[in-house]
Amino acid sequence: MLGQISDIDLRLLKVFRTVVESGGFAQAEVALNVSSSAISASMADLEKRLGLRLCQRGRAGFALTDEGLKAYLALQELHTALDCFRAEINSIHRQLKGELVIGITDNLVTLPHMKITRALASLKAQGPDVQVDIRMMSPGIVERGVVDGQLHLGVVPRVQKVSGLNYHPLYSETSRLYCSAEHPLFPVVDDEIGESQLAAHEAVGQSFAPCKSVTTLLDQLNVTAKASDREGIAFMILTGLYVGFLPDHYARRWVESGQMRALCATRMSYDLDYAAIVRKGGSPSMVLDTFLQSLEINV
């Protein structure tokens, strides 16, 4: 009795099918690109594996035995089933369906070189039925969501690496210290603003874990308030009572309208890298893989 069919069995069956359809060992040499003796050895291995005499070979020529004919007919059914399987898999690829849940750190949409929007458009073009769920969260919550499988993918600052996650670089942003038009420092030129003068005014910091470069700059300020996201920091700055760090791309709207300006831009600024994160060893997902490819990330 034949047990589990192995890759070796499939290779031997391919030789058998080629020999039958070519009309003999010698005729199959060209199709298989192997010698007649190698074909003979493969056929002997297959007969031993199946426990059947598949063909007669010798001076009289090549001919299938009754058992060999039945085995060949069964092999044809196997190949038909494989063709159906291949067609079904190709159909699945053509019908990209499912859900993509993404967790993103707030206020990245104003980045001029944002890749997420283009990747989402590409994903929907390839799979119109894909359902997208975007959730705006703080970096720590995004990382936990990806680790526990609640999120398929996250976009977070590359402050520290969490075990269990793969980090793929996306882009970077520059943040500077801003004040509003109502703040006392707004009309003062940067050259006249010293460290002691900056420290004399209240500042708003971050309630989420900042990177080391941010911590160094915040230590120079009088932080009396915190916000959980950039929008909260912007709210506090616009009161006219606080200074705070905002990404240039996010603050641009208020700068262009004359409501904000950057203070001491050359020394009170930092760059922050962002990465797409996915769980290590996560369940295979064609929707996620397609999205990662749209982000130009190898999967």
Position 163 scores a pLDDT of 87
Q: Which pLDDT band holds residue 106 (cuts at 50, 70, 90)?
A: low
Higher pLDDT, 160 or 245: 245
- 46-50, 204-208, 234-238, 248-252: least confidently modelled range: 204-208
Q: Which pLDDT band holds residue 159 (cuts at 50, 70, 90)?
A: confident
Position 136 scores a pLDDT of 86
Position 259 scores a pLDDT of 97
pLDDT average, residue stretch 247-270: 94
Alpha carbon 299 to its chain centroid, in Å, reads 7
- What the chain holds in terms of domains, given with CATH numbers, is 7-94 (1.10.10.10), 96-299 (3.40.190.290)
Q: pTM (2 decimals)?
A: 0.61
Position 222 scores a pLDDT of 95
Q: What is the mean pLDDT of the chain?
A: 87
Position 92 scores a pLDDT of 67
134 forms beta bridges with 102
- 9-13, 248-252, 283-287: least confidently modelled range: 283-287
Q: Which pLDDT band holds residue 111 (cuts at 50, 70, 90)?
A: low
171 forms beta bridges with 274
Q: Does residue 1 carry a pLDDT above 60?
A: no
Position 138 scores a pLDDT of 81
Q: Which pLDDT band holds residue 297 (cuts at 50, 70, 90)?
A: confident
Write a three-state SS string for the chain.
CCCCCCHHHHHHHHHHHHHHHHCCHHHHHHHHCCCHHHHHHHHHHHHHHHCCCCEECCCCCCEECHHHHHHHHHHHHHHHHHHHHHHHHHHHHHCCCCEEEEEECCCCCCCCCCCHHHHHHHHHHHCCCCEEEEEECCHHHHHHHHHCCCCCEEEEECCCCCCCEEEEEEEEEEEEEEEECCCCCCCCCHHHCCHHHHHCCEEEEECCCCCHHHHHHHCCCEEEEEECCHHHHHHHHHCCCCEEEEEHHHHHHHHHCCCEEEECCCCCEEEEEEEEEEECCCCCCHHHHHHHHHCCCCC
**Strands 153-157, 269-279: pairing kind:** antiparallel
Residue type, 71: A
pLDDT in tens, 167-176: 998 888 899 9
Angstrom distance (rounded) from CA 55 to CA 20: 9
Q: Does residue 212 carry a pLDDT above 80?
A: no
Q: Does residue 57 carry a pLDDT above 60?
A: yes
